[in-house]
Structure 1
Amino acid sequence: MERKPKNIFIQGAIPAEKITESVQKHATQTDIGAHAIFLGQVRADTKDEGVVTAIEYTAYEEMALEKVFDIREAVFAKYPVTCVHIYHSLGQVDAGEICFFVFTSAPHRREAIDACNEIVERIKAEVPVWGRELLGNDKHVWKKNT
């Protein structure tokens, strides 16, 4: 069966219900022994220009979805994962809210953790998503992924 790129983007913050739903879907799958979850949250960092109150995310969506698809396929080929869920926010996400969610499932914890970590690192390095940090004084700075 041919896999197709899935839309990973959600407008605004990622709701807790989306995270809960992803975990709950696997309760009946008895071949899974571990899940790994990464949750990216907007920090209220202090910059020279002010304090970050939110991040406004934009993306080159078509290219981003293709790149995430390639990353998912590479992870499925490299690790014995049974499931991968990825969601990333677009638009404004306030400090304290969730903006990035990666969930992996595998028979054993090491594979789930390693796959999750690789996905997070590769998305941050390779996928065309940008964040404009909004400061409380009507200024902004472009976020640098580290």
Structure 2
Amino acid sequence: MSDRKVKNIFVDGRIDPAFVAGSISKHSSKTGIGGHSIFMGQVRKDEIDGKFVAAIEFTAYEELALEKMHQIRADIFEKYPLSCLHVHHSLGMVKTGEICLFVFTSSAHRKPAIDACSEIVERLKAELPIWGKEIFEDETHQWKENS
């Protein structure tokens, strides 16, 4: 790793919609940006074996996850001409309907922002040591499998 400070991507609990709106709003003064791409992951109320998911409790091996994210970030900036790249992921309990992942990329043109955003989401799911425990309405639980 470089001497550059590793940015903490983790948020305690849900990602507030006001935070998302504020993040978008802050970029309006950056007039060299022509395209943004946003991905927001939301906890679904899946039905599994007749039971409904009420929440997901996220845990992570934080130090390793942040190191991996730092590398992903460096790879993405090397591959795409981005102006900005922001990633926020929940830890702890997030209820159905709430946002648990927010990825926001910006560039002079739309295609790099869209492609980078998509690649980041796929790499996060595949490479970061983050786990989700599905909590059902009856308070039983199981570990979630990423698809």
TM-score, structure 1 as length reference = 0.96
SS in 2 for 1:119: helix
Partner of 1:136: 137
SS in 2 for 1:82: strand
Percent same amino acid at aligned positions? 55
Greater mean alpha carbon deviation, residues 85-94 or residues 133-142: 133-142
Greater mean alpha carbon deviation, residues 135-144 or residues 96-105: 135-144
Q: In structure 1, how many angstroms separate the alpha carbons of the residues matched to 2:22 and 2:70? A: 21
Displacement of 1:70: 0.6
Partner of 1:115: 116
Partner of 2:65: 64
Q: In structure 2, how many angstroms separate the alpha carbons of the residues matched to 1:82 and 1:53? A: 37
Runs of 4+, deviation exceeding 3 Å:
none
TM-score, structure 2 as length reference = 0.96
Flag the 1:49–1:131 CA change in 2: closer, same or farther, 3 A.
farther
Q: Aligned pairs, how many?
A: 146
Q: Structure 1: which 5+ runs fail to align?
A: none
Q: Structure 2: which 5+ runs fail to align?
A: none
SS in 2 for 1:13: coil
Cα RMSD (Å) of the superposition?
1.3
Q: In structure 1, how many angstroms separate the alpha carbons of the residues matched to 2:3 and 2:109? A: 26
Matches within 5 A, 1:60-99: 60-99=61-100
Provide, for residues 14-54 of structure 1, a one-character-per-residue CA deviation record: whole Å limited to 9, x for no partner: 00121112111211111100000000000000001611000
Q: In structure 1, how many angstroms separate the alpha carbons of the residues matched to 2:77 and 2:26? A: 19
Matches within 5 A, 1:15-54: 15-48=16-49, 50-54=51-55
What letter corresponds to residue 136 of structure 1 in structure 2? E
Flag the 1:70–1:33 CA change in 2: closer, same or farther, 3 A.
same
